[in-house]
Every structure is written in C-alpha cells, then in structure tokens.
Amino acid sequence: MSARKLSWKPVSRGAVYCSPGCGRGCTYKEFIDANAAADELVELLGPGWKPRVWENMGWYYCAVSLDGHMKVHPGCNESRPTYYTAFFGDIAAGGRWVENAKTPKAAIRKVLYLARSDRDEIQGCIDSYEKAVQP
C-alpha cells in the first residue's frame, strides 16, 4: 500500500486558507498578515530584498536577498517580532553563518562580521600554507 502525497497548495474554505499537507487550519487572515509583514520587512531593509511567505503549521515569512545568499527571519512572540535572525552563505534553507539581533539590520551586520572573521582566519591559513610550499 502506498502513501498518498498531500498537496502543499493552499485551499480556501471560508476563513480557512490551508494546504492539505499542513492541516492546521491556517486562515486567510494569517496569510494576508504574513504577506504584509514580509513586505514591511523588505521595505525596512531597502533595495535588494524580496519577500518570502510559506505555510507549515501556520503562515511564516522572511526577507531574502536577491542573490539568495542572505535570509532574515523574524523571531515572533504573539506575532510581533522580538528579534531577527540573519542566515548567510547558503542558497538552500538556513545558512553557514547565523546571528540574532533586536533589529534586522543589526542581525545582518552581526552575521557579516562573523563571516568576515572566518574569511580572515581562512585567508591567514591559506597565506601560511602558500608560503610553506613555495620553492
């Protein structure tokens, strides 16, 4: 017997706007609110960002850099952001470097600082080994 694959395409049933694959009973209002919040985050960050909204036991959002290497997610309490997490380095979910801060731009600054620190350490190692193998 094979398992039937559930769709992740939202279906509207009155106030409910939810995918069969989710099944939580997500609402259309939650969908609209997540899209509005995503647009606000992108506006706050400025040019070079696009909104992303998805469903998984509720509607969620983030801002994604146009090249896909940076993602900024809100950390929510009672649906209001209380902090932000910046993920940097991978186009897929998550990122190689991750930092949190009270504002989205502060989270970005922190994650870039972390990535630069790693880059500088790696560059120092490369320079050392290149010297060791030179004739």
In a domain, 19, yes or no: yes
In a domain, 5, yes or no: no
In a domain, 6, yes or no: no
In a domain, 58, yes or no: yes
Residues with Cβ < 8 Å from 65, sequence gap 6 or more?
48, 49, 71
Residues with Cβ < 8 Å from 85, sequence gap 6 or more?
72, 73, 75, 98, 99, 100, 107
pLDDT in tens, 95-125: 789 999 999 999 999 999 998 887 887 887 7
pLDDT in tens, 1-27: 556 678 888 988 999 899 988 889 999
In a domain, 2, yes or no: no
Domain that holds residue 15: 11-133
For the whole model, what pTM was predicted? Answer: 0.82
Instruction: Identify the weakest region by mean pLDDT among 14-23, 45-54, 83-92, 118-127.
Output: 118-127
In a domain, 115, yes or no: yes
pLDDT of residue 8: 87
User: Hey, what are 87's tokens?
Assistant: 């993920």
In the chain, the number of structural domains is 1
Taking 3-state DSSP, the helix, strand and coil percentages for the chain, each rounded to the nearest 5, stand at 35, 30, 35
pLDDT of residue 3: 60
